[in-house]
Structure 1
């Protein structure tokens, strides 16, 4: 991963996961903890830094995958951090790094695979799945609770990984948290994910998946849901632009497919005009170079950056 998505070691508080409850129901402490883990997945090119942070969080690294931000192969790949402790095993995937060509290839390979998934997302998970399987299957007794999480592209990979673990070897996730995640698959994938159809388990992950959406973030609106080609899974929790997620939140039904692409663009455009008129468009939202520039980005992009999700969860980065 590159300097655009990393933050300094000092920005990771040792107490970040102290409110982690490892609950199958939505818990704000779990959401905040999963946002920290999603951010940590952006640090995979510095394993020593990852280990230092995990140790402070009373977690032990169980797996890590990284690659060069510009030149690595294969073109479809994924970065993740897996850790155990605090009564859970957590697998966190990184989102798109603007300097990683593989991420852009992954994001824009949107044709459906034979099993109805976004081809780019499926290929990215395939590249690391052999490393993830033993982490799930051999998780220690004190860390049996299983969590998947990720921001942006990482959210899509978390969704696909959770369904695959459930379908292939009956490892049903305790909960899945995504932040600004896109749609991942069609009706068959939705059925398998939501109800466990075809898994033989008689249950699914629809009510254990919480997809958080900040304001007019464009990524959760894509790929567009034309003719049910791509559907969301889980329950959406949305907050207004520059707002905060309520606790307890209002959640959509597990069969909801919002937010919509066209409506999101219209609302974001109107919000940009209001901000421009009030001279509220030049401001930083976090410590990274990407955050420093966020004030001049279109709202549909600014509402997506990790720092804005931290803020909406009541955790301003320093």
Structure 2
């Protein structure tokens, strides 16, 4: 299993942050002039941005997280949604599947009948045919959508997914989804300290995360740590934090502030 490199982490993190503002200059970020497609829902909110370079093999699909009330309400719609691909059957989070099945905004009635899922396929199919591979990333519910879309793409195309990197992502499916998920070895779930969203839905043992978990805490990266241990370590660090700020490494870490003084 390959490690996620620092420059990859930073690139995906920056793209997830920039997915929220309305203004998005993809050329300034180094992508091709024609290397950006924004997919909006019927309310006119950008849900997905697809980005690529002409001379590189990677296409990056960035999913925006919850931003409006309807998005947040979707997070609590954790009823099971049955999905079937051939003989494979599993159950996923109804709300996140609904976000991907919502209709896109478009001037034509034919476009309005197309779902987010279908529009993603429309854009990616010719790029995959050119030999490009797809990386997917997203923050919060955007990360959940990235997971579901990655698995969906892996079932519709021949090995199109390069990696999946999510930030602060809630769980997307039940045990059956974890069992049948195709991209465990290419999926990185980034959690930071006690990010409560990463514990949602609050149904341990029923909803199960997929992929490789990387937990950022106290200047360390913990891999695949159990949620109960993560909770314990975070609460413990809160209790000792007044003392920990006295340690010399805290002063050394803040040395860069003096360059700006």
- In the alignment, which of 47, 57, 60 is matched to residue 79 of structure 1? 47
Q: Does 1:172 align with 2:164?
A: no
Q: What aligned pairs does 1:130-279 form with structure 2 within 5 A after superposition?
A: 130-139=118-127, 144-193=132-181, 204-226=182-204, 228-241=205-218, 243=219, 245=221, 251-252=223-224, 259-260=226-227, 264-265=230-231, 267-275=233-241
Q: Deviations over 1:120-157 (max 9, x none)?
A: 01101122112101122111666602100011111111
| RMSD between aligned residues | 2.9
Unaligned stretches of 5+ residues in structure 1: 1-22, 194-203, 253-257, 281-318
1:117 is paired with a residue of what secondary structure?
A: strand
Contact 1:25 1:175 in 2 (8 A): no
Query: What's 2:254 paired with?
Result: none
Contact 1:88 1:142 in 2 (8 A): no
Contact 1:136 1:171 in 2 (8 A): no
Which structure has more strand as a fraction of its residues? 2
Alpha-carbon distance, 1:57 to partner: 1.8
Return the alpha-carbon distance in structure 2 between the equivalents of residues 157 and 144 of structure 1.
Answer: 21
- In the alignment, which of 115, 118, 123 is matched to residue 98 of structure 2? 123
Contact 2:169 2:189 in 1 (8 A): yes
Q: Deviations over 1:12-46 (max 9, x none)?
A: xxxxxxxxxxx965222111111112112213xx3
The TM-score, its normalising length taken from structure 1, stands at: 0.61
Q: Deviations over 1:195-243 (max 9, x none)?
A: xxxxxxxxx31111111111111122222353x32111111111215x3
Contact 1:163 1:192 in 2 (8 A): no
Q: What aligned pairs does 1:22-171 form with structure 2 within 5 A after superposition?
A: 25-43=3-21, 46=22, 49-50=23-24, 52-59=25-32, 60-66=34-40, 72=43, 79-85=47-53, 86-97=56-67, 100-115=68-83, 116-127=91-102, 128-139=116-127, 144-171=132-159
Greater Rg over alpha carbons, structure? 2
Alpha-carbon distance, 1:159 to partner: 0.3
Unaligned stretches of 5+ residues in structure 2: 84-90, 103-115, 246-261
Contact 2:16 2:137 in 1 (8 A): yes
The TM-score, its normalising length taken from structure 2, stands at: 0.73
